[in-house]
Amino acid sequence: MGVIMMRFIKAFLFGITGLFIVITLLSLLISGNVRVSRVVIINTADAGKVYNQIANFDNWKNWHPIFTIDSAKITRHIPAIVGKDAGCIILHRGKEVEIKLITADSSAVRFMLKSEGENDIENNMVFTQLPNQHVVQVEWRALTRLHWYPWEKFYAIFMDKITGPGYETALNGLKDYIEKNP
């Protein structure tokens, strides 16, 4: 009876190890960079107004759902509010999240979103005044670089469906705020 049980345990462990190796090898075929992108058209002729709402993190409380719905609070600024090296640390659901400005110019604002225990997310908000129209197109691009872990790679398959609606809601909040406050 003991020999049969040992063979069963050995076969079970061999099968589990083989399955883990196959899943890991399959996950290596999935890209480690996940891009999520959303776009909104804002009815305004002033691209500068859009820039001011995006580049100044204090203005995010006017339109971003993390501040308006979830009651996140800016706890401190690092070391400036606007311009080079601007950033802030917010308290959201009991965790500190760092938002750090990388670059900002008349057509885009790039910033990094960092939270302990999670992958960094590089964000790029591009705004374009459409010619011969009184509208500004704003595109939010988020790039997440994943580790090689199989569970992260398989999570990447669903990342657009999971995080995309949040970006879309934020952009719609920006659109509503700017259109209601000309």
Fold (topology level) of 32-180:
Alpha-D-Glucose-1,6-Bisphosphate; Chain A, domain 4 (3.30.530)
Runs of H (alpha helix) within the chain: 2-27, 47-55, 65-68, 150-156, 159-180
Domain boundaries, the chain: 1-30, 32-180
Which residue(s) pair with 10 in the sheet? none
Is the model more confident about 133 or about 172?
Answer: 172
DSSP state of 130: P
Residue 48: per-residue pLDDT: 84
Beta-sheet pairing, 95-104 with 33-42: unpaired
Phi, psi of 181 (to 5 degrees): -125, 75
Instruction: Please report, rounded to a whole number, the percentage of residues in the chain having pLDDT higher than 90.
Output: 15
Q: Using CA atoms, how far apart are residues 105 and 126, in angstroms rounded to an integer?
A: 10
Q: What pLDDT score does 77 carry?
A: 67
Stronger pLDDT, 159 or 172, i.e. the higher one: 172
108 vs 36: CA distance, rounded Å: 16
Consecutive H or E run containing 115: strand 108-115
pTM: 0.78
Tens digits of per-residue pLDDT, 63-97? 988 876 666 677 666 655 555 667 878 877 778 88
**Residue from 123, 106, 125 nearest 40 by CA:** 125
Q: Whole-number mean pLDDT of the chain?
A: 83
Note the pLDDT of residue 126: 92
Separation between Cα atoms, residue 173 and residue 180, nearest integer Å: 11
> What are the angstrom distances between the C-alpha of 45 and each of 42, 114, 138, 141?
9, 33, 13, 22
- Comparing 101-115, 120-134, 150-164, which segment has the lowest mean pLDDT? 150-164
The answer on pLDDT for 177 being more than 60 is yes
DSSP for residue 29 = T
